[in-house]
Structure 1
């Protein structure tokens, strides 16, 4: 894990050029935002230019940085290469907290349990998660799908040691899945819907009654201290974007189609599973985070216990 983190740190430094985090007494006029393919609301705001326009009114510009998934995005936040992350799965902040990242929870999306799932080929004879014992399962380490797999196995009376995990990025997960190199693939939308519609994959199990799949927006503590006004603008724009996507599913799909390179049918299905209900975080809302942290530590996938309650939470107006 240390070696992987070192590689991600090095890659982040090379790609972005390391910069020291903003000091509390500074008032930076640029916010560096990290996002990934599944960062729907940030992608909508970026494409429409609404966030740029809203922040320009208070003299702030935006620098956009795209990542392959949540874990390297949090690595970049940890070293000061970005100031704020778009939504990441609930597991990602826990690993960052374990690494001592100086971060703050800014917002969260309400649960979307069916927006992540364990997929199997259409021809697979597997009928229940209990039959995953001894099977090769493709997943991306430290993601929401990782916890979904752990929780699903536990419910089926299995442990992580009962399967053969194959850690890959999502593009490589799908390639391995379609080649038949793995027996199952743990993924999330829009990869999930693409796998179902394009590859004919079947859902073996999703997060219903197992994993809430809440997604969080996080900021570097120094930036949040220096520019709470920026966080307020971003929160308001995210909340409005969430309502727009849910109220205008076809228009949202058409907007995202050229960016995601997916058919509108896939995008509409994916967006239909996500809540996109952006809320302010609270200590009570982090209770489920503690369950996830304890699960990863029990499976020896975290280097030390994590007390989620000790994490910083942004309070609007502070």
Structure 2
């Protein structure tokens, strides 16, 4: 009996020692957490940054080059998970549900995403490239002007930059948006429909635009010149941008570097991207020659431009509610 009582007493003592040790360990971990250690050392935590990209654009070039992967790995011990999307709307859907940290799109997708409640913020933008998107028709199409699209079927990627391009070109031609049969398809499916002749026109951006022009001799009905700006935006979730400003700075620095190289080396750029994109070099050289390069800060003019697009989409009932672009701008 005595031995049994001693065993119980020793058992309680052992449990007490274990609990005490765990409590001390917990206190120690609070005083030297990974975040605090990273802060003290001036380095970011060991994390994986999820970056969404589309075919073409500066972020796509960064992926192909590998310079951003290398710098983040060497300076911050950070890995990148690259995820490809067929268009900006699909990319921002992923960002909205937390599957991405950073991505790039044109002007229209962030507006649709913000209206849907996505917690996105604008980081920076590329210069205007209005010639890099257009409405095209088959080479032998009887359609000669934008006004001729009344009653015709036009295909595009819903919520993308070219959606706004179509709206503005129809407005300029005095054609009501509702008088055009607009069908929504991602680029690959839209290309197939265009080549089969099941649609009358296709509103598309580079490099898909250049590839269609090269392969099918598609005729350019109108592009964005004098009508839209066609900016490329760098975007992130607000939580990521506020928590990791150093990673954002590195991304934009490397983007600006690769932009400078791309501007001076269109042939090499096309050869680098061709295997990754599955698009011929000739088409990529054509696309490279009609976009502008260089990372620029978000300013009041850009905010006003985005707000004008948002207001237009609201008027056409393409977004469910009014939005304020300023809500998606990082405070300085």
**Per-residue CA shift, 1:156-196, capped at 9, x if unaligned?**
00121010011111111111111110110000000000111
| Runs of 4+ with deviation above 6 angstroms | none
Using the alignment, how far apart are the partners of 1:70 and 1:263 within structure 2? Answer: 22
**Secondary structure at 1:213 match in 2:** coil
Given the alignment of the two structures, is residue 146 of structure 1 paired with residue 146 of structure 2, yes or no?
no
Q: Is the 8 A contact 2:266 2:285 kept in 1?
A: yes
2:83 paired residue among 42, 51, 65: 65
2:46–2:76 contact (8 Å) kept in structure 1: no
Gaps of 5+ in 2: 1-38
Question: Which has the higher Rg, Structure 1 or Structure 2?
Answer: 2
- Of 268, 290, 294, which residue of structure 1 is paired with 2:307? 290
- Which segment drifts farther, 283-292 or 147-156? 283-292
| Rounded Cα–Cα distance in structure 1 between residues aligned with 2:224 and 2:185 | 21
SS in 1 for 2:76: coil
- Distance apart, 1:117 and its partner CA: 0.2
Which structure 2 residues correspond to residues 220-259 of structure 1 after superposition, within 5 A?
220-259=237-276
Instruction: Work out the CA distance in 2 between the residues paired with 1:46 and 1:310.
Output: 30
1:81 aligns with 2:103: no
C-alpha distance in structure 2 between counterparts of 1:314 and 1:207, whole Å: 31
Calculate the TM-score normalised by the size of structure 2.
0.84
- 1:249-281 deviation per Cα after TM superposition (whole angstroms, max 9, x unaligned): 111111011112222111011011111221121
- Larger RCO (alpha carbons 8 Å, 6+ apart): 1
In structure 2, distance between residues paired with 1:251 and 1:280? 27
Using structure 1 for the length normalisation, give the TM-score.
Answer: 0.88
- C-alpha contact (below 8 Å) 2:46/2:77 kept by paired residues: no
Deviations 1:78-100 (A, max 9, x none): 11111001x20100111111111
Distance 1:137 1:167 in 2: 9
CA distance in 2, matches of 1:75, 1:43: 18
State the distance in 2 between where 1:314 and 1:53 align: 29
For residues 1-318 of structure 1, the aligned pairs below 5 Å read: 29-38=47-56, 40-56=57-73, 57-85=75-103, 87-313=104-330, 315=332
Give the unaligned 5+ runs of structure 1: 1-24
SS in 2 for 1:313: coil
Residue matched to 1:3: none
Give 1:28 deviation, angstroms. 6.1
1:41 deviation in Å?
1.9
- Report Cα offsets for 1:218-265 as digits up to 9, x if no partner: 011111111100000000000011111111111111101111222211
Q: Residues of 2 paired with 1:314 and 1:168: CA distance?
A: 36
The answer as to whether partners of 1:51 and 1:234 remain within 8 angstroms in 2 is yes
Return 141-150 or 47-56, whichever deviates more. Answer: 47-56
Structure 2 residue matching 1:231: 3-state secondary structure: helix
3-state SS, counterpart of residue 295 of structure 1: helix
- Aligned equivalents of 1:28 and 1:154: distance in 2? 50
Pairs aligned (count): 290
Instruction: Report deviation, 1:314.
Output: 6.5
Superposition RMSD in Å: 1.6
CA displacement at 1:30 relative to structure 2? 1.7
Q: Distance in 1 between matches of 2:224 and 2:124?
A: 21
- The alignment partner of 1:134 has SS state of coil
